[in-house]
Structure 1
Amino acid sequence: MVSLLEELERREAAIRERVGELRQQVAELSDQLAAFEEMLAQVEVARMVVREILDDAAADEVVPRKDAGPAQAEAGSPIGVVTVPPWEPGMGISVLSEGYREVVGVLQAAGVNGHVVLPRGGQ
């Protein structure tokens, strides 16, 4: 028959083992949480940069007067206009404007993998 002290020692050892396992899980989850918090911050920055770019483009838009001719009425926001050159093999992000390069940098820092795909001739 097992003595009371032996049973308590067995239980204590089992509990210590479980505490160690839980501490390891907490450490792993803390690392994951920190990584996702960093990615979240980077995506928030990317969103703010894109919003700033779009706001700047909208602020630059020329509001046509009612008596404006077709040429003046068409001037305005670059939104919807191809703002990067047509893609050619071997092109890198250096062909992008500074704002777009910043967005690509933030996405890369956030761990978004893959290649930057530049639009082909307005597509």
Structure 2
Amino acid sequence: MASVLGILEERETAARVRVEGLREEVARLAGVLEAAEIELDRRVIAREELVEALAASAAETAAVAESTAEAGQAAALSLVPVPGSTVPPWREGLPVTVLAPDYQRILGVVEERAEVGQGPLKAREIAVGLGLETTPAKVEGVRSKARRLAERGWLLLETSGAFSAGRRPVAVPDAGPSA
């Protein structure tokens, strides 16, 4: 009987050692996963910034080409939103429809919240309002776009880092939209 108990204790000890080893491996892999997620988030943000920079460059090139066109035609074309396009500075009489659809949706979420009398929104809350996953990459993308809207006067950026509805004119160097 003692030998059977000894065998069971040996097996229990071996199982305990295996469980501890697996726990250590899981902890190590969790650290590796976290580092990989951070790298992914950085790359997503870098790609979005590059797309916006390229769009700004293309917009500047188009602006030079349009400057030779008739002024009325240039004004009409500048009101058409293009995905990935620049965010023009807000000014009186400028419709929301000049913004790309993603920016219009962000404004809609913030303004809808303001209409029901609720306070400013954090980027994560805006992402939820847009129906997006609240992964760091998605939230940072929303924060980047909301911050751009605030810089251009379409939203107000609170000191807490939250965004609220409201418009304000902004200084425009060279009077052209920038990225």
Normalised by the length of structure 2, the TM-score is 0.34
**Bigger Rg, which one:** 1
Structure possessing the higher relative contact order (Cα contacts under 8 Å, 6 or more residues apart): 1
